[in-house]
């Protein structure tokens, strides 16, 4: 299943990706089912009803084949639209295994910082929702769960989705996630090479397909070879995400407990870690390595080392191209801003995420404490007082 929300400024790239899917087309064992919407302003001939159908082979570049039907103009930022597509696809094209591709603009959990747009999450639909609305990460995860399908893979063909916060939001919704820590080039994923592998080996399991997606994307960008072109793409085994989250909460609690002696070292580790286009997003493995090196607390050192090992177990494939400090990139980032990188309402928004609504101390507790001049948890506890303390997958 491919949910392709391109009624925006990257509409042209969506048509190229449809062409790549049509180069292969569906087979007896593999159904490629798409719901797509394009921008009539950005793409000639793309005007605008939403289309849906089973992709068939078509060798004409720039032309969408007759395999699709028009279903009116849908709001691709509406969670109901996503749930309805997944349900329709599963009912009409039942399968032993399901993969979901989510294609559009993405911003991790956090809002865009450009002055003309301030959404957070994923998907932009100029016609139906305007430039300032996105589906939040919580809404996106709930929309997937409400379909009743547990996916072998959810692949985010979008920027900045490769985060601990995003991964935990999708626990129970997929066996594997594939995503990018940084900005992802508008060329997107290499659908023709990925789908050829799948059509030739339709029995491949989710782990193998997740690794194939990441690997084929890296090969694709190596072949393009443009100066300045960079990418990351990683695959996560979600079976370990709950245990990893528990470890992150334990580390956060210990760091909060020793803040009086360790705050400077924690901030130094944060500042030394690899960052991406949003500087408040730090590579998680890089941070854990720096923290283990800099801390004077033996418990923090041991926890950091153990979590770094655990991260390397759940990130089953980690591909990069053109990145500085590539050997330090772990495949998953985390939100860890300094005082100049957190907007006024960021902490209240961050508190809404599932990873910060577990009982006890969470990573959000640590972020709030670091940013608080008083260095207490009072502010964070006040924010959480207006939310449920625990959120379970629906």
How wide is the angle at C-alpha 55 spanned by C-alphas 50 and 59, nearest 5°?
A: 110
Cβ contact 143:127 at 8 Å: no
Element (H, E) at 143: helix 137-146
SS3 108: strand
Distance separating alpha carbons of residues 58 and 74, to the nearest angstrom: 25
Element (H, E) at 175: strand 174-179
Is residue 33 scored above 90 in pLDDT?
yes
Q: Which residue has the higher pLDDT, 372 or 286?
A: 286
Distance separating alpha carbons of residues 196 and 216, to the nearest angstrom: 11
Beta-ladder partners of 111? 120
Can you give the pLDDT at residue 46?
Answer: 46
pLDDT digits (tens, 9 = 90+) for 62-111: 889 999 999 999 999 999 999 999 999 999 999 999 999 999 999 887 65
**265-278: average pLDDT:** 95
pLDDT digits (tens, 9 = 90+) for 108-141: 876 544 433 344 689 999 889 887 789 999 999 9
pLDDT digits (tens, 9 = 90+) for 133-176: 899 999 999 999 999 999 999 999 999 999 999 999 999 999 99
Cβ contact 116:68 at 8 Å: no
| DSSP label at residue 135 | B
Please, which residues have CB within 8 angstroms of residue 386's CB and are 6 or more apart in sequence?
Answer: none
Claim: this prediction has a pTM higher than 0.95: no
Torsions phi, psi for 157 (to 5 deg): -90, 80
Can you give the pLDDT at residue 391?
Answer: 39
Cβ contact 316:242 at 8 Å: no
Please, which residues have CB within 8 angstroms of residue 281's CB and are 6 or more apart in sequence?
Answer: 108, 110, 160, 163, 181, 275, 333, 334, 335, 336
Ramachandran assignment for 146, one of left (phi > 0), alpha (psi -120 to 50 degrees), beta (any other): alpha
Residue 309 pLDDT class (50, 70, 90 cuts) = very high
Residue for token pair 């430039």: 131
Using CA atoms in the order 258, 260, 264, 265, what is the torsion angle rounded to 10 degrees? -20
**What is the average pLDDT value for the chain, to the nearest integer?**
90
Is residue 345 scored above 90 in pLDDT?
no
Which pair of tokens denotes residue 368? 């709030």
Distance separating alpha carbons of residues 188 and 104, to the nearest angstrom: 10
Torsions phi, psi for 344 (to 5 deg): -55, -40
Helix axes 241-257, 259-272, angle to 10 degrees: 130
- Which of 32-41, 174-183, 280-289 has the weakest average pLDDT? 32-41
**261-272: average pLDDT:** 97
Please, which residues have CB within 8 angstroms of residue 162's CB and are 6 or more apart in sequence?
Answer: 108, 156, 179, 180, 181, 182, 232, 234, 331, 332, 333
Torsions phi, psi for 289 (to 5 deg): -65, -45
**Could you give the percent of the chain with pLDDT greater than 90?**
78
Which pair of tokens denotes residue 80? 């109901």
pLDDT digits (tens, 9 = 90+) for 243-259: 999 999 999 999 999 99
Q: Which residue has the higher pLDDT, 91 or 371?
A: 91
Torsions phi, psi for 309 (to 5 deg): -65, -40
Residue 280: CA count within 13 A, CB half-sphere = 21
């Amino acid at each position: 299943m491919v949910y392709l929300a391109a009624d925006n400024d990257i509409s042209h790239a969506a048509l190229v990706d449809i062409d790549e899917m049509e180069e292969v087309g569906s087979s007896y064992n593999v159904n490629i089912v798409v719901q797509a919407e394009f921008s009539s302003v950005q793409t000639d001939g793309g005007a605008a009803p939403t289309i849906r159908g089973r992709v068939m082979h078509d060798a004409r570049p720039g032309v969408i084949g007759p395999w699709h039907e028009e279903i009116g103009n849908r709001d691709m930022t509406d969670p109901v639209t996503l749930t309805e597509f997944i349900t329709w696809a599963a009912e009409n094209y039942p399968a032993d295994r399901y993969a979901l591709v989510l294609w559009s603009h993405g911003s991790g959990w956090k809002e865009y910082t450009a002055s003309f747009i301030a959404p957070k999450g994923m998907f932009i639909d100029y016609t139906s929702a305007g430039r300032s609305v996105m589906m939040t990460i919580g809404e996106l995860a709930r929309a997937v769960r409400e379909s009743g399908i547990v996916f072998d893979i959810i692949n985010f063909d979008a920027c900045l989705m490769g985060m601990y916060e995003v991964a935990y939001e999708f626990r129970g919704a997929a066996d594997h996630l594939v995503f990018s820590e940084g900005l992802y080039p508008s060329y997107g994923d290499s659908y023709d090479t990925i789908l050829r592998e799948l059509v030739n080996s339709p029995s491949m399991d989710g782990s193998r397909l997740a690794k194939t997606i990441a690997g084929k994307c890296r090969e694709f960008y190596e072949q393009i070879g443009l100066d300045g072109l960079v990418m990351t793409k990683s695959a996560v085994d979600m079976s370990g995400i709950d245990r990893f989250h528990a470890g992150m909460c334990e580390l956060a609690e210990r760091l909060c407990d020793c803040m009086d002696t360790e705050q400077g070292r924690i901030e130094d580790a944060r500042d030394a870690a690899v960052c991406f286009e949003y500087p408040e997003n730090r590579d998680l493995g890089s941070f854990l390595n720096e923290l283990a090196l800099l801390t004077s607390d033996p418990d923090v050192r041991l926890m950091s080392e153990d979590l770094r090992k655990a991260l390397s177990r759940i990130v089953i494939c980690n591909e990069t191209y053109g990145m500085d400090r590539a050997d330090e990139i772990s495949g998953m980032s985390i939100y860890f801003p300094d005082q100049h990188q957190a907007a006024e309402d960021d902490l209240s928004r961050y508190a809404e995420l599932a990873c910060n609504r577990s009982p006890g101390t969470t990573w959000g507790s640590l972020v709030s404490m670091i940013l608080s001049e008083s260095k207490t948890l009072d502010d964070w506890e006040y924010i959480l007082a207006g939310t449920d303390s625990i959120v379970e997958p629906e």
